[in-house]
Chains A and B, each alone.
Chain A
Amino acid sequence: MQPMALPPKATFPLSLLLLLPLLLLSLVLATSTQQEEFSEELLLKPLPDRKILAHFHFQNEAPLDADSFARHHHLFPKSISQLVQKFHIKAMELSFTQGRWNYERWGGFDPISSHNAKPPGVELWAVFDVPPHQVDASWKNLTHSLSGLFCASINFLESSTTYSAPEWTFQSALGSLRYGTLPREAVCTENLTPWLKLLPCRDKAGLSSLMDRPSIYRSFYHSQQLHLTMSSAASDGSRSGIILQQTLTVVLQPDDQNADMNHVSKAKVQPSWSLSSIFGRKISGRCVLAKLSNVYLHADRGLVAQLENLHKNTTQFANNDTGPEDYRVNSGFKLSVTPKRMHTELGKGSSILYEYPIKDYKDTEQFDLGLSWEHPIVWSSPHAPFYASRFLMGSGNERGAIAISLKSTEMTQGLVTNNIEERCKLQVNVLQVVPWYVKVYYHTLQLLVDERPRVLTDFVERMRVLPSEDKVSPGMMELVLQFPCEMKSAVLSIEFDKGFLHIDEYPPDANQGFDIPSAIISFPDLNAGLQFYDKSQSKSPLLSKLQEKSPVLSYTEVLLVPLTTPDFSMPYNVITITCTVFALYFGSLLNVLRRRVGEEERLLKNKDASKAVFLRRILNKLSAKLRGRPLESTSSPSSSSSSSSSSSFVSPKLILRVLLVAGIAIAWQYYSQ
């Protein structure tokens, strides 16, 4: 998914590049201002389940010079260019996501779901242009810088237990890629504001002025991304510039005016919406610094096919389909603004993209695209060949298993019918990273195809396993699987033991459980990109991004593993009990070492002889009288030994003392009130 491809048009004219070393510094500055380019675009797409996808795409390009470290940029954010310079970043992607992308309803086979559907929390990967032994150091520094830049705890990715180095899932990397996720990171405006600061117009003008915080954070899914790539010169392929793509993907639910709660029986009409109704704002104008400012409306393949069906059924419409009026009065929906241009995808059942350039609107007039549905239309988004889900099995605090299940969708059925003659195979890459305290036993990896256990080697083409090392590195498993296209379902399961953590290794709220980051399922054979008729030699970065050849990618759910957690008030108890045990131990040890029993006996005898214990003798006499027994000879040493020890417990002396103390206590209690 590494978008290393060129933008459609080389940013550096060839001649200029050849001249560059010869020109003076002032000239360099002059040219570089020309080369810094910014574009803003917004893609809107109705989703089958009555929601709207809004995808903001901001692209910022700047040339990369040897001395640009200290140079001032006009449009390009300086912090990012410094980052690139300092850590020698070849490519990087950082995403902040809240909510889950619904692959089933919102589709899994288009560029947006492959690029912009991300796991909840923070995901970061970066490719460095440094020698292999420096990669980890660069990564650690990068995480800290990003953490400061985006007000997020990305610095937790610094620890070697949180990141890994996959090789096959992200294609471009060869040993210098690092990948880490923080599934529990909460995403909010504090992350959006620094992200907006990187835009030349911030959110004061242009498309970004639509970003009303309450409506964005009320959305069902939002993912803000920062994607950095190097553009290479057309001539020699050397690095020539930085491309910064900032995207914000939001799935919103428009307010349903005619929403009645009971639509059990009747078919639903999709809710009509406009920009002002979903964002609460309108576009008042373009960002003047932007070279390009467009809004697109995308109707995907399923919708177009349904619309065509509808069109065939309703005969009152004429069959000529060219001319811009027809876009506006479609048989399925009505658009409030006439699109400037329409892009259709190649092939049958293709999707349509309506283009609205913002530059045409005056500042006084506000752009408010609206869409109202005429007929109830039910369609479904294109799905990835397999619908992947992951879950935990087992219970208890001891062990469990992770299962990744792949269910075929209607997409694979299409594949089967297409090539009957040769045996159709489908490649599936799986990347699973597990934290070290989930101790995975890789030998227990099992594969069930169509509910039957199969030999793993029949399906696994390549496999790369990095077992976890306690407190050092997470476990990572990369699988390249080849499945027959006619397969209905497959389940990969792998067992694990739950480890124990040291008391100070538990994160806050440890009793919630521990996260296993999303697995990445990718289909490198398939191309998620859309192919449009390139009529107008489009310069739009968003369009070129949509058309880019890239593998289909999907993320599974984040899992929550309950681990054994100590009672966190326990350290106190442990300290107390340890101290008690130590005191007892040392006390008795000292006693044994110090005391000489024979000596004491002798001393005691002497004391008895010298009648030092006068009171005791009196008491003994008293007790003897009370018992009505003759006084025992106190001189005998055995009398003080254990023979009388048993009776001494119930001796009247003791009772007397207890009574005395109790009496005092009661009196004290009574009079103190």
Chain B
Amino acid sequence: MGANENSSAKPRVRPIVRLGIFLISHSNIVSLVCFLAGVVALLLLPVLAKNTYISENALMPGSANNMLSTHHVSDANKFIKDLTDLEFTSMASPIESQKLIARYMSALDAEVTFHKFYPQFSQFHPLHFFTSPDSGIISKNGTCSSFGVNTIGIIRAPRGDGKEAIVLVTPYNPSKVGLGEAVSLGIAYSVFLLLSRVTWLAKDIIWLVADSQYGEYSSVAAWLREYQAPVFHKVDVVTSEACNESSSFNELGQGLYLDGKLSGDFRRAGTMAAALVIKVVDQGNQYEDSLNIYAEASNGQMPNLDLINIVNYMAVHKQGLRIKVKKMWSLIDSWWLNTLGVIFESLGKVARSLNPQLKFGIPASDYVEGAATLASSLYYQGLGVPTGPHGAFRDYQVDAITLEISPKVSLTKLNRRNEFMLRGGRLIEGVIRSINNLLEKFHQSFFLYLLTSPGKFVSVGVYMIPFALLVAPLPIVAAYLHANGSNSTPQNPSSSLEVDGSHKSWEWLNSARKVLVIHLWGVFVSLLPFFLRQVPNTTLTMNFVLWGFLSIFSLLILYLTLDCPIFKASASQLEKNKWTSLKSVTISTAFIGLSLMSVINFATAEIGALLIVPICLLARPLKLDIQARSWRTLLRASCNIVLGFVVFSPVSFVLLKGAFEDFYGINVGDYWKWVESLWAWNSATYLYIGVVHLPCWALCIHILFHPC
């Protein structure tokens, strides 16, 4: 309110400024309202989800009749039989099965090549977070003995100009071919067989049989690296004399080079339009044949919604597959979500009774399902770790999804398997045909969305609102605190005017320095695991403990060395304002951090805002609250303590994990493992936790225990 006295001299203030002043002066109520509205809006998202629709007209899914027939499937069955027999008869090298696949591919007049790669074990590159995966990151420690071999078949479109290509990926492990993998290869083979004969093909088809011995992702990523960013002078990278014993690779091509269809060099086929990863999971306890879609790539990037739409359309309307996306199963049974669902349902009914045109409100069960899917969608996008080999494609701006098909009954029954393969093959055929129709690349539909069911989505325009509401109080409160702090200082009559005035106006710089130091500490903490990894023979728990210990130790050192003079100075009568300005700067940095993160990975920012915003708003020295001794301040103090505990990232990780899975068997090493996976995948979430979340939490705790 102090601002008003100043401005009273001025006769009239512009309405927009007045509005700002009003908001700042009522920051408490505004922040409460905004935060609550943000949470409510987040909970409303499943209700606000729209039905998906195919935005690109050129796709025309399902407009052509399926050409895949039982002949193709029976041929594919023969292929599967050969592949599985091979494993039983000759327990020879895994090379044999790759040879077999190559032979089958070349019989279809496809160009076949083998791609040998050294698996690149995921490593923490502290400085490689936002760089595109370029050729500079070639692993130099890949041993020569352990290499994988991808088999690639390319069908050239008969009359196409070869500028674009569609990629089919089937990961499989040549040393241990499971029935599911064999069937996925069989489905891909039946489609490949069909596509080698059709006349309508406009884009080349690449079938990548990815060697998943060293992980599905790494083999696909290695192939993509070779495709998009090849290194020509390989001789220097891998010392040649050590790798000469890879004769087993050289014998691969024998007998096939003859036809001129197989060539030693790497083959390419234009710009990739889309990629489909096909997997078959042999579970056999489903109600019906079902299809799981995995779409999340690194840092919450999603393929174009149209790709999911056509898969959804083809699967549901043409093949009658039950389509699924990931859900948080633990949420489905939670009572609070069910109650919320019921509330929203009844609200919807009320709204509809007022006006039948209001399409608000969905059945409670739908709401719960949608919320569970949304939560998982949000979580996996926020995690920033790709959910399958399709993630490698997104790094090169190629739209890709993983289709995981699971049959109703076990695949060992042959005639049941035929029908299953026919359906799977027709689905893939339909999707490929639809992408083949595409003249331009995928651009019509959304790239930023959350799925609430396979057929429903929340677009960026809607899910931005909760985030905006969540972070909106931060600048207001910061401004309020700043204004309040600077205005209340003149109340100290003792201090000399000019010294105090200059001190006061530059005071925030002092706090800013403190905040900066803490954020630098955050950077240091996030770099620590890189050094800890170098220590050999450590368990996960030990690593975690070591990490925590070193972090605290470094924090203490920082306090003792850097902050000492500041603490001494702050012991003066300006103490009271010290914490407000500190809080104001903290909140500002949290706001900046969250806003930046929302650009990089929106889901992370949304989850992060949900966690960090309450404590940032509420933080207040406990001493002051306890001194006041009213029930309000005590409640606030206890809230602060609980929040301060919960928001600490390992604790919140354990709590979330316990809430969604089980508390049983959780140990602190899990957190280390989780963090390890984050940095191994170069997820920006890791940086967010280290550089924004943790320092903000530490500063809030600092404010809580501020001596005033």
Using a CB–CB distance below 8 Å, which chain A residues touch chain B? 48-49, 98-100, 102, 104-105, 120-121, 183, 218-221, 261-264, 378, 380, 389, 391-397, 403, 405, 407, 448, 451-453, 489, 491, 493, 509-513, 515, 557-560, 562, 565, 597, 601, 637-638, 641-643, 645-646, 649, 666, 669-670, 673
Contacts and interface: CB of A to CB of B under 8 A. Distances in A.
B232 A451 contact: yes
A642 B268 contact: no
Given A452-B235, A453-B232, 5 more contacts: A99-B159, A262-B78, A380-B260, A642-B13, A666-B354
Contacts of B12: 597, 601, 641-642
Contact of A642 (B8, B163, B270, B356): B8
A261 B71 CA distance: 9
Given A99-B159, A643-B8, A557 B270 contact: yes
Contacts of B10: 641-642
Interface in B199-252: 199, 228-230, 232-235
Contact of B397 (A105, A396, A558, A597): A396
Interface in B330-367: 354-356
B229 A393 contact: yes
A120 B163 CA distance: 10
Contact of B271 (A509, A510, A562): A562
Interface string B423-453: 0000000000000000111010000000000
Nearest to B100: A264
B230 A451 contact: no
B354 A121 contact: no
12 contacts: A100-B162, A261-B193, A264-B104, A448-B233, A451-B234, A557-B162, A562-B397, A601-B12, A645-B21, A645-B22, A649-B22, A670-B354
B534 interface: no
Contacts of A666: 354
B209 to A, nearest CB: 16
A396 B134 CA distance: 11
Contacts of A394: 134, 228-229
B25 A646 contact: yes
Interface in B154-194: 156, 158-164, 193
Given A511-B443, A557-B270, A558-B162, A646 B11 contact: no
Given A448-B232, A453-B233, A558 B161 contact: yes
B13 A645 contact: yes
Nearest to B134: A394
Interface string B63-99: 0000000011001001000000000000000000000
B258 interface: yes
A673 B232 CA distance: 73
Interface in B445-481: none
A261 B397 CA distance: 36
B202 to A, nearest CB: 11
Top 4 A-B pairs ranked by shortest CB distance?
Answer: A511-B440, A560-B163, A120-B161, A395-B396
B163 A558 contact: yes
Contacts of A261: 71-72, 75, 193
A378 B258 contact: yes
Contacts of B441: 511-513, 562
Contacts of A511: 440-441, 443
A637 B12 CA distance: 10
B395 A395 contact: yes
The B contact surface, by secondary structure, is: loop
Contact of A378 (B232, B233, B259): B259
Contacts of A262: 75, 78, 107
Nearest to A666: B354
Contacts of B8: 638, 641-643
B416 interface: no
A669 B355 contact: yes
Nearest to A218: B199
B356 to A, nearest CB: 8
Given A48-B260, A389-B268, A513-B271, A395 B229 contact: yes
Contacts of B396: 395
Contacts of A645: 13, 18, 21-22
A569 B134 CA distance: 34
Contacts of A491: 232
Interface in B19-36: 21-22, 25-26
A520 B205 CA distance: 26
Contacts of B25: 646
Contacts of B7: 642
Nearest to B265: A407
Nearest to B161: A120
A157 B395 CA distance: 36
B4 A642 contact: yes
Contact of A392 (B71, B132, B271): B271
Contact of B161 (A48, A100, A452): A100
B103 interface: yes
Nearest to B158: A220
Interface string B556-576: 000000000000000000000
Nearest to A637: B11
